[in-house]
Structure 1
């Protein structure tokens, strides 16, 4: 659900404007990045816990603390931590993941039904980009580019869900 995670980060920008967009995007996919880095450099990994509730809570707290130290604002730190947690919430819709290590598997597993997953992602993209476009500090030309961003995101999501062969 990368496009959905990115859409959530874009939407969150409305309230977290002082944070750089890259910071918001990073926080929204931190569990996946932690997974990748952990497989490349085992010392950085937390094993199978990156997509569990305890693992996500640890990551959210770490990102919130780092955000507080760098930006000196508790509200921004809370927002960055919530973005990390949003990743897990979204993944429980699209996947089936354990709540904790060796815990029960939960989730709707919409990946198994590509059209359902696409509709969820498209709705998330629409909401996130609408919130992003209504951010009061965006200039008019940037708002015009939101439609282009939407097309790119929906196209990438369609490729993810349906492949290049259309099925």
Structure 2
């Protein structure tokens, strides 16, 4: 659900304007980045911990602390931490994830139903870009590009759901 995570980060821009957009995008997909890094370096033993309840709490605290150190604003740090937490909250809609290492799995597992996942993710994209469009610091020419961004994001989501998954 990369497009959905990016969309949530874009939507959060309205409230977290002082943070660079790249930082918001990083916070929105941090658990997936940790997952990929853990796959590349198996000795780290990350496994499913990146998306488990304890793992996401640790990640949110780490990103919030890093945000506080770099940007020196508690509110922005809290927002970045919440953005990390939103990642797993949204993933529980689309995936089937363990609550903790060796614990029960939960989630709607919409990846198994590509059409339902596509509808949910498209809704996230549209809602989040609508929120992003209302960001006071977004210039008029950039607003015009939001439609192209929406088409690109929804197109990539369609490829994920129907092209790659064969749904």
CA distance in 1, matches of 2:163, 2:47: 30
Q: What stretches of structure 1 move > 6 A for 4+ residues in a row?
A: none
Distance 1:158 1:152 in 2: 10
CA contact (8 A) 1:56 1:85 kept: yes
Give deviations 1:81-137, integer Å, cap 9, x for gaps.
011111100110000001011111100000011110000000000010000001011
Return closer, same or farther for 1:17/1:45 CA change in 2, 3 Å cut-off. farther
Unaligned 5+ segments in structure 1 are none
What are the Cα deviations for residues 31-84 of structure 1, in whole angstroms up to 9, with x where unaligned?
Answer: 010011112234555332101010000000000000000000000000100111
* 1:148 and 2:148 aligned: yes
How many residues are treated as equivalent by the alignment?
167
> Secondary structure of 1:50's match?
helix
Does structure 1 retain, via aligned residues, the 8 Å contact 2:28–2:83? yes
- Separation in 1, partners of 2:118, 2:95: 13
Match of 2:51 in 1: 51
What's the RMSD between the two structures over aligned residues? Answer: 1.5
Give the equivalent residue in structure 2 for 1:69: 69
- Mapped to 2, the partners of 1:6 and 1:34 lie a distance apart of 16
- Give how far 1:160 is off: 0.3
Q: Which residue of 1 aligns with 2:120?
A: 120
Q: TM-score, normalised by structure 2?
A: 0.96
**Superposition TM-score, scaled by structure 1 size:** 0.96
C-alpha spacing 1:165/1:27, structure 2 compared with 1 (3 Å): closer
Equivalent position of 2:2 in the other structure? 2
Q: Does the 8 Å CA contact 1:34/1:45 hold for their aligned counterparts?
A: no
Q: 1:94 to 1:164 in 2, by over 3 A?
A: closer
Q: Determine the structure 2 residue equivalent to 1:133.
A: 133
Please give the alpha-carbon distance, in whole angstroms, between the structure 2 residues aligned to 1:73 and 1:91. 28
Measure how far apart 1:156 and its partner are.
Answer: 0.2
